[in-house]
Structures are given as C-alpha cells and as structure tokens.
Amino acid sequence: MFSDMDSDDFAKLAKIIGIFLFIVSFFLPAVANSYAKSPTDYLITSNAQPGWECAVLTLYGTARLFVPDPSDEAATLFFVVSGWITPLVIVFAIFPDRNKAKRIVAAALPFLLVAPLLFFASATKSGWGPDPFRPLIGHYVWTMGCLLIFTPQYARMLGARVKGR
C-alpha cells in the first residue's frame, strides 16, 4: 500500500490525519486548573476543560488586549496569541495548497505554537509556575493536528519532490 506512494501522497495523508486529530482534540480534555496529584492526572482529570472550551476562551482573550492587566502582560500576550492559532489553522487549511498566505501561516505556525507553552510556563498563570493551569492530552493532540495539517507546505519548504514538478 505505501510502496506506491511518493512524498506528495504522504504529505496529503499526513494532512488528512492532521485534520482528524485537530477535530478530535476539541472533544478531549485540553487544560486543567489544578496541580497533578498522580501521573494519570496529566492525561485526564476531573476538572479538565475540553478543547472547544479552551479554544473559545483563548479567542475571547483577544479582548484582554484592550483592557491590559499590568500584573502580567506577558502571560496575557501568550494567552491571546494562543487564541489566534485555531482560527488561522481553520481558515488556511481550506485554501488551495499553492496559496502564498497558506505558506506564510505554515512557516509561522511552529513559532505561534510556542505561545501556549510560554503561557503555561508563565509565572502567574500556570501549572508549571506557582498557579495551577496545565496542558492535558487534548492540547498535545491539537498541537500535532495543527502541524500535520500543513505537512504539504512543510514538504515543499524542505524541498521534497512533488508529483508533476
């Protein structure tokens, strides 16, 4: 089955898998607002927020730019940037593969995906910092889905040979 596939076919298959993972991530527990008490608490916990709720809250966080919180401006910025990722992925995933804007979003995406990690690691808003707020399995599935959706663009950027070229 895979022996007849070239790099373009693999990139398209990865994109389909990415779309599936991206959609599934909205139904998985994405973040928790408490400290982990056991190793399984990193996968799922009773006070977890599902991915769709996390996406809505972070997108709504853009309004926080207009009412700055001087106590933690960096965490607010990371929170807001995290909210922009899902709409960017949804909008640019539907454009044709040769679209220049799609290539720009694909190039920026790995850097944008650092923002949620920086938010989790921020000193005042995180389970990795003094206050409990930590990623769960849904966050990691969402991240992988985001990256896999843009696999055809990454393959072109890295110089993989594409059929017909």
The answer to whether residues 151 and 14 touch, using CB atoms and an 8 Å cutoff, is yes
State residue 45's pLDDT score. Answer: 66
163: enclosing H helix or E strand: none
The answer to whether residues 121 and 134 touch, using CB atoms and an 8 Å cutoff, is no
State residue 127's pLDDT score. Answer: 47
The backbone torsions φ and ψ at residue 60, rounded to the nearest 5 degrees and listed phi first, read -60, -25
Give tens-digit pLDDT for 106-141: 889 999 999 888 888 775 544 444 456 778 889 999
Give tens-digit pLDDT for 17-54: 999 999 999 999 888 876 666 666 656 666 788 889 88
Distance separating alpha carbons of residues 83 and 115, to the nearest angstrom? 10
Give tens-digit pLDDT for 56-86: 888 887 776 676 655 667 777 888 888 889 9
Residues 123, 125, 128: CA angle, nearest 5 degrees: 65
Contacts of 136 (CB under 8 A, 6+ apart): 28, 29, 30, 31, 32, 42, 43, 44, 45, 48
Distance separating alpha carbons of residues 108 and 101, to the nearest angstrom? 11
State residue 27's pLDDT score. Answer: 93
State residue 70's pLDDT score. Answer: 59
pTM, two decimal places: 0.79
State residue 103's pLDDT score. Answer: 83
The answer to whether residues 82 and 116 touch, using CB atoms and an 8 Å cutoff, is yes
State residue 68's pLDDT score. Answer: 61
Distance separating alpha carbons of residues 32 and 73, to the nearest angstrom? 22
